[in-house]
Amino acid sequence: MAQKYQLVRGMRDIGPELTPRWREVERIIIDVVCRYGYQEVRLPLLESTELFARGVGESTDIVSKEMFSLDDRKGRSLTLRPEGTASCARMCIENGLLRNQAQRLWYQGSMFRYEKPQKGRTREFNQIGCEVFGLPGPDVDAELIDLLWTVYSELGITDLVTLEINTIGSGVARQAYRDVLVDYLKPFRDDLDGDSQRRLETNPMRILDSKVASTRAILENAPRLEEYVDEDASRHFDGLRRILDGAQIPYRVNSRLVRGLDYYTHTVFEWVTDDLGAQSAVCAGGRYDGLVEKLGGKSVPGAGFGLGLDRTVLLHEAKAARDYRQADVYCVVGSESEIVDATAVSNAIRQRLGLAVVQHGGGGSLKSQLRHADKSGALWAVIVGEDEVAENRVTMKWLRRDNEQLTAPLETILERLAAEQSGV
């Protein structure tokens, strides 16, 4: 026997039993995003490694230990995108999309991070992201959050997610806080967990985000970020809170929330859940006014989020158990001589009613075909057998109701299906 191949560690297959739910979740989210006037962009899977090093930050987990990088044939380092914001900003700068105009953009696709795989954490995962460029105010931060609140409402999972917000200020004030924090933590250096010890040198504010109990205990008495936020940042944050309060969007201020990416300024937010074990973040975002300039563009403010689809689909599944059907109608074909007629019937149903029809393939008895029909989840079977063709009729059978069926001319069957369809 030939060698069997296995999935590469950390990748995941999304099989036919899962894709209907994925599509439903994607459809709902994309529909909301488009209703807020965001325009789609399609970004490449590969970018130069340098883009992420600069745009995400050398000291972040993503860049320091999670990138899938490879050298091309000329020895240039390329990386499979671990997130979308840096690519999106690069595209806008390169194509002059930020010249004297604001942009509201969205994208979707696979992201790659080399991390320890577990439920809800894989090395390939999917995100839908939104980015707004050119608008500096808290109204935009609020718009992104309001859009996400609508997404969670329409997915029916608002009770499974909680919004946390914070401000990490900007510029000088943040630098001042960083220094004070390092001064406070240095004497505890040996008691910090390994990651936090490393971050003390590279990215001290990330230590606030640590999940390690002993580190959290040390942080209890640490100087608080909010006391170092400058007036401008406080005003921005108050503005955001006023809009969220007015829109009655529930949130919790979490002064420990700092986010892992270097490019954030002012607002940061995260939607978290208790329903996915250790994988608590389902969406994260914030403002990144320094990013475009850092990537070689003119200084343009930005804000956005990345929503993790894999985890969102898991929440949707936890909330809404349902059977997705392969098709609405299953067409049973009497024998080989009826294939042409059956195909015409299937196509009439597809074209005129827009219903999904699976036409039986491979022959077999009426009984075995009806077993397949049942398994497909279809609501109705249409039977095109020898008798039906001889009489110019079609039999319609209700698969989810006992023994109900009707034999009539195709036009009548189409009308009946249309009437039934409007009741589903």
Q: How far is the CB of 16 from ligand ATP (least distance, A)?
A: 21
Strand order in the sheet with 281-287: 39-40, 103-112, 124-133, 302-308, 281-287, 265-272, 162-167, 252-253
DSSP-based three-state secondary structure for 181: helix
| Distance between CA atoms of residues 48 and 19, nearest Å | 32
Given the complex with ligand ATP, which of 141 and 388 has the nearer CB atom?
A: 141
Q: Please name the residues in contact with 188: beta carbons below 8 A apart, sequence gap of 6 or more.
A: 218
Window of 93-101, 148-156, 175-183, 307-315 that interacts with ligand ATP by CB under 6 A? 307-315
Give the per-residue contact string, 10-39, with ligand ATP (x = CB under 6 A; - = no). ------------------------------
Q: Contact with ligand ATP (CB under 6 A): which of 138, 308, 334, 385?
A: 308
DSSP-based three-state secondary structure for 277: coil
Q: Give the amino acid at 104.
A: R
| Distance between CA atoms of residues 363 and 351, nearest Å | 24
- Subset of 387-406 contacting ligand ATP (CB under 6 A): none
Residue 363 has φ and ψ, to the nearest 5°, of 70, -165
Tokens matching residue 375:
């398994």
Q: How far is the CB of 57 from ligand ATP (least distance, A)?
A: 12
- Subset of 108-167 contacting ligand ATP (CB under 6 A): 113, 115, 120-122, 125, 127
Q: Does 59 bind ligand ATP (CB under 6 A)?
A: no
Given the complex with ligand ATP, which of 69 and 279 has the nearer CB atom?
A: 279
First to last CA, the chain: 48
**What's the full length of the chain, in residues?**
424
Residue nearest to ligand ATP (CB): 308
Given the complex with ligand ATP, which of 110 and 299 has the nearer CB atom?
A: 110
Please identify which residue in the block is written with the tokens 């059956």. Answer: 342
Q: How far is the CB of 80 from ligand ATP (least distance, A)?
A: 13
CB-CB contact of 279 with 118 (8 Å): yes
Given the complex with ligand ATP, which of 85 and 359 has the nearer CB atom?
A: 85
Given the complex with ligand ATP, which of 48 and 122 has the nearer CB atom?
A: 122
| Distance between CA atoms of residues 314 and 220, nearest Å | 33
- Subset of 224-283 contacting ligand ATP (CB under 6 A): 260, 279, 281-283
Q: How far is the CB of 77 from ligand ATP (least distance, A)?
A: 21
| Number of chain positions touching ligand ATP (CB under 6 A) | 18
| Distance between CA atoms of residues 330 and 399, nearest Å | 10
Give the per-residue contact string, 75-114, with ligand ATP (x = CB under 6 A; - = no). --------x-----------------------------x-
Given the complex with ligand ATP, which of 124 and 230 has the nearer CB atom?
A: 124
Q: How far is the CB of 149 from ligand ATP (least distance, A)?
A: 16
**Residue among 103, 101, 61, 104 nearest 83 (CA):** 61
Q: Does 206 bind ligand ATP (CB under 6 A)?
A: no
Given the complex with ligand ATP, which of 208 and 327 has the nearer CB atom?
A: 208
> 57's torsion region: left (phi>0), alpha (psi -120 to 50) or beta?
left
Q: Please name the residues in contact with 151: beta carbons below 8 A apart, sequence gap of 6 or more.
A: 28, 29, 32, 33, 307
| Distance between CA atoms of residues 393 and 268, nearest Å | 64
Cα angle 171, 52, 136; round to 5: 40
Given the complex with ligand ATP, which of 228 and 263 has the nearer CB atom?
A: 263
Given the complex with ligand ATP, which of 119 and 352 has the nearer CB atom?
A: 119
Q: How far is the CB of 23 from ligand ATP (least distance, A)?
A: 18
Q: Does 284 bind ligand ATP (CB under 6 A)?
A: yes
Q: How far is the CB of 156 from ligand ATP (least distance, A)?
A: 18
Given the complex with ligand ATP, which of 276 and 292 has the nearer CB atom?
A: 276
| Distance between CA atoms of residues 288 and 259, nearest Å | 11
- Subset of 311-330 contacting ligand ATP (CB under 6 A): 311
CB-CB contact of 166 with 209 (8 Å): no
Given the complex with ligand ATP, which of 122 and 412 has the nearer CB atom?
A: 122
CB-CB contact of 183 with 291 (8 Å): no
Could you list the residues that contact ligand ATP (CB under 6 A)?
A: 83, 113, 115, 120-122, 125, 127, 260, 279, 281-284, 306, 308, 310-311
